Amino acid sequence: MNVERINLIKIMKKKKILITGAAGYLGSSIATRLVNLGHVVTAVDIIKYDKNSLSHLFYYDNFKFLKEDVTDERVVKKILKNQDFIIPLAALVGAPLCEKFKKKTLKTNVKSIEILLNNKKKNQKIIYPTTNSGYGIGEKNKYCDENSPLKPLSLYGTTKVKAEELIIKKGNSICFRLATVFGYSFRMRTDLLVNNFVERAVKTKKLEIFEPHFRRNYIHVKDIVDAFVFAINNFEKLKNNIYNLGLSSANITKIQLAKKIKKYIKDLDIKIIKNRKDPDKRDYFVSNKKIEKHGFKANVSLDTGIKELIKIFKFCDVKFKNNY
């Protein structure tokens, strides 16, 4: 540990932080950073996908893991005790998975949030990630900001919009509307668009793209982790608000993303499929000016993330599991 990090830990006041869904794609990276910063982290997960995504943290005395189900109110009452911050990440994520398990999606993505809000103390702070997919189909040549109408077109988007509404109404909270996430994490996901495109490009040298004009914003996992740390350290300034969270230079179409990947995989064959529809309906550009005006700006470029992912998929002998 370098001198700069030691000094940072010394001046930071340690917080007790509860993370649900902590073994997942976001949770495992957020938990790791917060433990390394000296915070006391309680990680809760049912461990459905990867038993090893948090194993590197068991060395630390300021890390505690509980294998529990946050849809059980008795569990929630127990794990909330003495926590300063709550980061509720437990959810079924992605349109395909949520359509496949509709009842479980409603129970985990909405009901568990209701249970949490009904049992937390007034002074306990919440930082919650929702999704840009709530914007659905945005207007042509117009950026979606936090005041744009929400028109989710998937069950996933609908449940995240509902949870956001409940959390903001309760108060003492911050909600981040996340762009599509990319990059490596301790519990990898390859269903996310950039990760998926790069994996297919590396392994098959082919990309078949339908609805190539669909637009999205993107953000690297590391930037999301930085944003959560920023929110903890600046909670009073940011609280009771919603913020889009993405990389402003990465508002691009699917075909533009494919061409970026081709810069690094020269023999990649890109084929546009004209008669197929995207099951994950979303098409928008997003403004991140609100959070940037408060002092946070995502900075890991798409090119950096693509090069990282190419190395991982090319050289690491790891079988990653999707969420469906």
Domains in the chain: boundaries: 3-181+219-247+287-299
Six token digits for residue 111: 């009901």
Structure token digits, residue 115:
């249970």
238 touches 175 (CB < 8 A): no
Residues in the chain, overall count: 324
Superfamily for domain range 3-181+219-247+287-299:
NAD(P)-binding Rossmann-like Domain (3.40.50.720)
Say yes or no to pLDDT of 199 above 80: yes
Q: Taking the model in full, what pTM does it have?
A: 0.92
Picking from 287, 277, 285, 299, the residue whose alpha carbon sits closest to that of residue 230 is: 299
Model pLDDT, residue 276: 82
Average pLDDT, the chain: 92
Summarised one tens digit per residue, pLDDT across range 279-306 is: 777 889 999 999 999 999 999 999 999 9
As separate numbers, helices (DSSP H) first and strands (DSSP E) second, the chain gives 13, 14
Helix (H, G, I), strand (E, B) or coil at 132: helix
Residue 67 has pLDDT above 90, yes or no: yes
- State how far the Cα of 148 lies from the Cα of 163, in Å rounded to an integer: 17
For residue 260, what are the contacts with CB-CB under 8 A and spacing of at least 6?
252, 302, 303, 306
| Nearest C-alpha neighbor of 280 from the set 93, 91, 94, 25 | 94
pLDDT tens digits, 90-112: 999 988 899 999 999 999 999 99
Amino acid found at 44: V
